[in-house]
Chains A and B, each alone.
Chain A
Amino acid sequence: MTDETLRFAYYPGCSLNSTAKEYDLSTRAVARAIGVELVEVPDWNCCGASSAHTVDPFLAFALPARVLVQAEEMGLDVLAPCAACYGRLVAARAEAARHPDYARRLEKATGRRFRGTARILNVLELLGDERVAAAVAGAVTRPLEGLKVAPYYGCLLVRPPKLTRFDDPERPVTMDRVLQAIGATPVDHPFQTECCGASLGISRTDLVVELAGRIVGAAKLAGAEAVAVTCPLCQTNLDSRQEAAAARLGEGLGLPVYYITQLVGLALGVPPARLGLRRHLVDGLGLLRQKKLA
């Protein structure tokens, strides 16, 4: 892309290794296509996700901190595509400042010293970066013309705003710009940063069916044909609970829920097979084929 290659410590997190493999595939594919180098954190562990912080603050700090320490050792900033991971990494850095003893306890337990020097980026922050955005715009070979996509940012990229300092917490625009850059049409809808229910998807399915219906329903009402997300929990909830939500609402939904990187990859000419587009529960390929985009 530009004179200097962008390199990041890549933290896929647990979900990108399993339920969200397509997010991993597409993120790596996009990075390759635009010349961003991703170096996987060698021995990463779970960030504690939506559970650790509910039982113990030190645990909630130490799990993501162990990942950050490794990035610091690599001398790189961290790219965390999963919004939940991103949120926990950002929170860990803030907590370290508030509790000086946490770093000491982490060192006692693991022998690793946390410094808090690595910057943490989410996927939209990367795609919104001036240089990256220019590279993407220049590399689009298959603009997603006519594809009406509802951007869905979810919670943890934009909140809490004091920690993430990314975009506007109520009316974010970065994903809209990315969608425009790849030729798709972003569709405005009122629930772009409304919560999907996160890990309640397993423990309180009933609640998530309600929330998923609200979000996908609003997107559909606004005229969207698909939803774009940046978080495995969001994707899983909106994708896997959509059928039940539609049943409850008594209306058809059927909006495929794509990772933004899948759409960018597609526009950059990455073969659909290498973007995991078959892995969706709400068929992800049919719409694209119908639009002659895949």
Chain B
Amino acid sequence: MATPNAPLVMKGGPAAGRLLAKVDAMSGTQVEACYQCGKCSGGCPLAFAMDYQPRQIMRLVQLGLEDEALASSTIWVCATCFTCTARCPRDIDIAGVMDALRVLATRRGLRPGDRNIGAFHRAFLDSVRRFGRGYELGLMLLYKLRTLRLTEDMGLGLKMLAKGKLALLPETAKGRAEVEAIFREAAEGAREAAEGARKAAEDSPETAEGAAAGPGRSKGAAGGDVR
């Protein structure tokens, strides 16, 4: 990895604006309008736990620093509470931008910048895909198993079982097959989008202005892992 303060080389060219264009289109907002006032970060209830402040994520997108943006913990720590969106003086849907970046990271098969949160979403959607409805006990077990934290929250889980807050068996939607079909259709679309992005990257190989410090891609997990 490059030294932390090595200059970012601004090369311009067609690749430089690609991330911005992509994120704008996906989130239906204009990140280029951001004037870096920091009102988003100032009001973000989780800013204290992020590696980049939300404002800095906007900056990374403006400059096309895709690898940094997609590897940040910020986009996963964001709880999508929309406080930033509701207060942005430039009317940017910042929470929507976070969604777009998470989707892009997922499509590129990157390891989430916060592993626990990423694993939770996977486990949650697995459960929905399987049963059509959320199955919280199964989800919690699966998630804690995957993150090797089986004993954490054991006490709380037992208390919740005792209060009848966790069902022992999953409930299923009758239309499970339809839900399954929705997941398949989503995966299909995601694969196409990832393919399109890969092609575009090949056409103009300079990924972004700051191609220097990029995170490694996780092995396996091809693009479009919508599960």
**Chains A and B in contact, CB within 8 Å:** yes
By a beta-carbon cutoff of 8 Å, the part of chain A in contact with chain B is: 14-15, 17-21, 43-46, 48-60, 62-63, 66, 98, 105-106, 108-112, 155-156, 158-161, 169-170, 193-195, 197-200, 202-205, 207, 210-211, 214, 240, 278-281
Closest 9 CB pairs of A and B: A195-B81, A14-B134, A159-B82, A203-B120, A109-B185, A59-B186, A155-B81, A51-B121, A109-B181
Which residue from chain B places its CB closest to the CB of A215 in the assembled complex? B45
The answer, yes or no, to whether B125 is at the interface (CB within 8 Å) is: yes
A-B contact pairs, 8 of them (CB 8 A): A54-B76, A54-B80, A56-B190, A108-B185, A110-B175, A170-B86, A195-B46, A281-B159
Contact of A59 among B120, B171, B183 (CB under 8 A): B183
B: number of interface residues (CB 8 Å): 67
Shortest distance in angstroms between B40's beta carbon and chain A's nearest beta carbon? 13
Stretch from B5-13, B57-65, B161-169, B203-211 that touches the partner: B161-169
Given contacts A45-B133, A105-B189, contact A197 B164 (CB under 8 A): no
CB neighbours of B174 from chain A (8 A)? 43
Shortest distance in angstroms between A15's beta carbon and chain B's nearest beta carbon? 7
CB neighbours of B125 from chain A (8 A)? 48, 51-52, 55, 59
Contact of A202 among B26, B48, B133, B140 (CB under 8 A): B140
Q: Is the CB of A204 within 8 A of B136?
A: no
Shortest distance in angstroms between B46's beta carbon and chain A's nearest beta carbon? 6
Stretch from B14-22, B111-119, B212-220 that touches the partner: B111-119
CB neighbours of A207 from chain B (8 A)? 46, 49, 77
Instruction: Give the distance in Å from the alpha carbon of A293 to the alpha carbon of B103 in the complex.
Output: 49
Contact of B93 among A17, A21, A160, A203 (CB under 8 A): A160
Instruction: Give the distance in Å from the alpha carbon of A158 to the alpha carbon of B82 in the complex.
Output: 9
Given contacts A15-B134, A46-B134, contact A56 B106 (CB under 8 A): yes
CB neighbours of A158 from chain B (8 A)? 86
Which residue from chain A places its CB closest to the CB of B91 in the assembled complex? A162
Main secondary structure of the interface of B (DSSP, over half): helix
Q: Is the CB of B185 within 8 A of A58?
A: yes
By a beta-carbon cutoff of 8 Å, the part of chain B in contact with chain A is: 26, 28, 45-46, 48-49, 76-77, 79-83, 85-86, 93, 95, 99, 102-103, 106, 114, 116-117, 119-121, 124-125, 128, 132-137, 139-140, 143, 147, 152-153, 156, 159-160, 163-167, 171, 173-175, 178-179, 181-187, 189-190, 225-226
Instruction: Give the distance in Å from the alpha carbon of A17 to the alpha carbon of B106 in the complex.
Output: 30
CB neighbours of A156 from chain B (8 A)? 81-82
Instruction: Give the distance in Å from the alpha carbon of A159 to the alpha carbon of B124 in the complex.
Output: 23
Instruction: Give the distance in Å from the alpha carbon of A214 to the alpha carbon of B152 in the complex.
Output: 23
Q: Is the CB of A59 within 8 A of B121?
A: no
**Most chain-A Cβ atoms within 10 A of its Cβ — which of B79, B133, B139, B143?**
B79
Given contacts A49-B124, A199-B79, contact A279 B173 (CB under 8 A): no
CB neighbours of B93 from chain A (8 A)? 160
CB neighbours of B95 from chain A (8 A)? 160
CB neighbours of A54 from chain B (8 A)? 76, 80, 99, 102-103, 106, 121
Contact of B79 among A58, A160, A200 (CB under 8 A): A200
Which residue from chain A places its CB closest to the CB of B112 in the assembled complex? A54
Q: Is the CB of B116 within 8 A of A203?
A: yes
CB neighbours of B143 from chain A (8 A)? 202-203
**Most chain-A Cβ atoms within 10 A of its Cβ — which of B80, B99, B117, B159?**
B80
Q: Is the CB of B81 within 8 A of A198?
A: yes
Q: Is the CB of A18 within 8 A of B178?
A: no
Q: Is the CB of A17 within 8 A of B83?
A: no
Instruction: Give the distance in Å from the alpha carbon of A20 to the alpha carbon of B167 in the complex.
Output: 11
Given contacts A45-B132, A159-B86, contact A197 B45 (CB under 8 A): yes
Q: Is the CB of B226 within 8 A of A59?
A: yes
Instruction: Give the distance in Å from the alpha carbon of A45 to the alpha carbon of B133 in the complex.
Output: 5
Instruction: Give the distance in Å from the alpha carbon of A210 to the alpha carbon of B79 in the complex.
Output: 14
Contact of B182 among A53, A98, A109, A280 (CB under 8 A): A109
CB neighbours of B136 from chain A (8 A)? 14-15, 18-19
Q: Is the CB of B82 within 8 A of A155?
A: yes
Which residue from chain B places its CB closest to the CB of A19 in the assembled complex? B165
Instruction: Give the distance in Å from the alpha carbon of A52 to the alpha carbon of B185 in the complex.
Output: 14
